[in-house]
Amino acid sequence: MNLQFSKSPKILDVMEGNGLKIFNRPNELNIIGIRSSNTVSNKFDDVLHVCYATELGTWHQHIFHCTTDPGTYFLNHPMNKAGSALLKHGQYLNAYQLGLHRGKYKALVQRKAVTVYRSKNNSTDIDSKTGHTQTGLFGINIHHASGNGTTEDVNRWSAGCQVIANINDFKELIGLAEKHAKKYGNQFTYTLLDYRTKGYVPIPFQNENKAITTSNETGIKNQTYEDIPNASTSHSKKKAGIVLVGLTALVGLGTGIYYLTSNNK
């Protein structure tokens, strides 16, 4: 899943339309969570966008299945006496860094204060209906669920963290974050929006817990790739040909193609 597009992804238009900061230097990450309209907890029904420009001025976009809500276990057994944590939507500038999640493995961990809703309601129907918020360092990290494959149910994997369902998606995110950190320092901005954000159009879920790649230019949407290392996006042969031709033109190999064609007449 390594496609290049000439225009910035539409999610960044949504960010701009809502007055939020966009990062456009090469390999500088825009990390954007979208909380879905489904308020019933315990499923990875939210998405995490990771967008960045390249040295050529083109853009990459990755979309991973995740949860931005706590699982049902921690709704019923809050870790904080004030209640379960639900990260409030907004933009948290330089609030994250590469570090160890619970001292175990590399993840994006909280380094500055964020704001969470607190609720003692043990219902699995979770939303920002409560007006009770807290701001501080609560360990609201961005990490993975199981260390193998794709996790279907949130359960104990989140007490309020932003958790990616697929381990290979998470490894890809960390690899991108390491490139960002080498160029711009170990600090990252996380933006959390929801389905009601002005200008946002949700992408339908056709395949649960798979990564999605979208393009403004090709019109290809809801593409998925399998849960295996170094997997590539699956297309029909026709669509693959269209994308390949577009990418070939982008990197300036048209001359090479003409040369090969001419010598095979």
Give tens-digit pLDDT for 226-258. Answer: 222 222 223 333 333 433 334 343 334 343 333
Report the 10 Å Cβ neighbour count for 142: 25
Q: Where along the chain do its domains lie?
A: 10-234, 236-265
| Distance, CA of 211 to CA of 204 (rounded, Å) | 13
Rounded Cα distance between 157 and 153, Å, is 9
Average pLDDT of the segment spanning 106-134: 79
Would you put residue 113 in left (φ > 0), alpha (ψ -120 to 50) or beta?
beta
Measured CA to CA, the distance from residue 48 to residue 107 in angstroms comes to 15
The whole model's pTM is what?
Answer: 0.76
Phi and psi angles of residue 13, each rounded to the nearest 5 degrees, phi first: -65, -40
Look at residue 246 in the predicted model and tell me its pLDDT: 41
Q: What is the pLDDT of residues 40-81, one digit of tens each?
A: 789 999 999 999 999 998 999 999 999 999 998 998 888 888
Please identify which residue in the block is written with the tokens 């009601």: 196
What is the reported pLDDT for 3? 44
Rounded to the nearest integer, the mean pLDDT of the chain is: 77
